[in-house]
Amino acid sequence: MTKYLFILFIFFISSCKDLSNSYFPLDEKKKWSYEVTIKPEIDKPIVYKKINYSIGKTKIENEVYFPFLRENGSIYYYKKNKDGIFRNGLSFEKDNKINFHKKQRLVLPNPINVGDKWEVDSKTYLILKRYPYYDYRATTKFKINYEVISKKEFIRTPLGKFNNCIYLKGTGKTKFIGDSEIGAIEINISSEEWYAKGIGLIKSKRIEETNSDLFGKTVMVQTLESFE
């Protein structure tokens, strides 16, 4: 009986580790390359490359973090525990100061179940109006509500086909108060994310839509191109 309980315990621990970590690998040093396409409703599309490097486990003030370096020099700090994987802070290569979030942001829960829901802080960053001499960006904070929709999604990317992916959907809304010319605009946000086992994020789509003809709707699609 004791042996059976021990085996069951080990299976439970392994299952929890598998669910929380394999869809967002943290422990090993890896590199993800994405193509990002931003399509504003009223301006020309923008296409660029985005690269994430996992630096590996590091200790900061006796806490274990997993930093991810991006191509723009920003570093995001992740942690994992029995409840899931969280993003805890941000820094830049040019300085040594880490700006820890007031509230850690849940990336993936543990265990991952269809119907799981959670709320995180976010901000708009896509809505942009280009004037002849300057760009005006509508940036404001809001709450986005995520839900696990499926654990059996099929996704096709330049890197190949992926089965049994985790599919998350997030929604939120906010209001942006501009200048006297722009006034107040309402923004509806939707986000979709797909995670593959052993790789992590393979695709995401985000839409920020306003009720203003001046800003319109902007769609961003991020697709994994290589992983090593």
Average per-residue pLDDT for the chain? 86
Q: Of the ranges 30-39, 114-123, 132-141, which one carries the lowest mean pLDDT score?
A: 132-141
Q: Which residue stretches of 80-184 are H helix? A: none
Question: What pLDDT score does 28 carry?
Answer: 82
**Would the pLDDT of 14 be above 80?**
no
Sort 65 into a burial class: Cβ within 10 Å, 0-12 / 13-18 / 19+. buried
**Quick check: helix, strand or coil at residue 58?**
strand
Residues 6+ apart with CB under 8 A from 100: 77, 88, 89
Indicate the pTM of the whole model: 0.86
State phi, psi for 195 to the nearest 5 degrees.
-120, 135
Instruction: Give pLDDT tens digits for 34-88.
Output: 999 999 987 889 999 999 999 889 998 899 999 999 988 999 999 999 999 999 9
Please state the separation of Cα 224 from the chain's center in Å. 13
